[in-house]
Amino acid sequence: MSLSEAVTPGADLWRHGWYAPAQPLASPNFGPRPVGAQVDLVVVHSISLPPGVYGGPEVLALFSNQLDWDAHPYFETIRGLQVSAHFFIRRDGQLLQCVSCNDRAWHAGPSAYRGRVNCNDDSIGVELEGLEGGTFEAVQYRVLGALIAAIGTRYPIAHVAGHEHIAPGRKTDPGPGFDWNHLRDLVGLPADALPRQ
């Protein structure tokens, strides 16, 4: 089954790159995609702020440039960072969208994959609330699987990879606790759509 066949929407789920089932919380950290960019990659990340702390407002505050840098000692190590992702999936499965998929979110940094550099240009970034190397909740996999399938109905997605795969040696998320085989089974992804394990 192709990604575009994995979901049959009963109504138009997309409007200007915004996914209707997601709660919108717009980030200012985005820009235009290069002319002719083919959005064919989904990048899976993990994030928690402070590391290992879940459920708070800090991740979304970071994405909206409103994080109180003095609220925790860890925040000093990321002071001034301006980043975003298209989507954020909390531990309880809540799905939020911070950047239109038609735009370039700032999630990948220096990166390369499938023979191309600058993965921000032609990818969609999904942050899972979690710790690098830790495990993720069953509901997060279900929401991620449905999201990837829905993205595949709108964009020519051919690859799904982790931040660790597009920036090896620099990033390690989502890490060994992420079950790529489970994601493959949920979405019906072909083996060559995923990174080699």
**Would 159 be classed as within a structural domain?**
yes
**Would 66 be classed as within a structural domain?**
no
3-class secondary-structure state, position 180: helix
**Would 67 be classed as within a structural domain?**
no
Cα distance between residue 80 and residue 62, in whole Å = 9
At 12 the pLDDT is 86
Cα distance between residue 154 and residue 191, in whole Å = 21
Q: Output the domain CATH number for residue 118.
A: 3.40.80.10
**Structural domain of 34:** 3-48+84-190
The model carries a pTM of: 0.94
Helix axes 180-187, 138-152, angle to 10 degrees: 50
> Is the distance from CB of 87 to CB of 22 less than 8 angstroms?
yes
User: Which residue has tokens 């993720």?
Assistant: 136
**Would 182 be classed as within a structural domain?**
yes
In the set 58, 76, 127, 137, the catalytic residue is 127
- Whether 127 sits among the annotated catalytic residues: the reply is yes
At 6 the pLDDT is 42
Reported as type and span, the H/E element at residue 185 is helix 180-187
The per-residue pLDDT string of the chain (197 residues; one tens digit each, 9 = 90 and over) reads 334 344 444 458 999 999 999 999 999 999 999 999 999 999 999 999 999 999 999 999 999 999 999 999 999 999 999 999 999 999 999 999 999 999 999 999 999 999 999 999 999 999 999 999 899 999 999 999 999 999 999 999 999 999 999 999 999 999 999 999 999 999 999 989 999 86
**Would 59 be classed as within a structural domain?**
no
**Would 120 be classed as within a structural domain?**
yes
The count of structural domains within the chain is 1
**Would 123 be classed as within a structural domain?**
yes
Please list, in sequence order, all residues whose beta carbon lies within 8 angstroms of the beta carbon of residue 156, skipping any fewer than 6 positions away.
Answer: 38, 39, 40
**Would 63 be classed as within a structural domain?**
no
Q: Where are the beta strands (DSSP E) in 55-158?
A: 87-89, 95-97, 104-105, 112-113, 116-117, 123-129
**One-letter identity of residue 59:** V
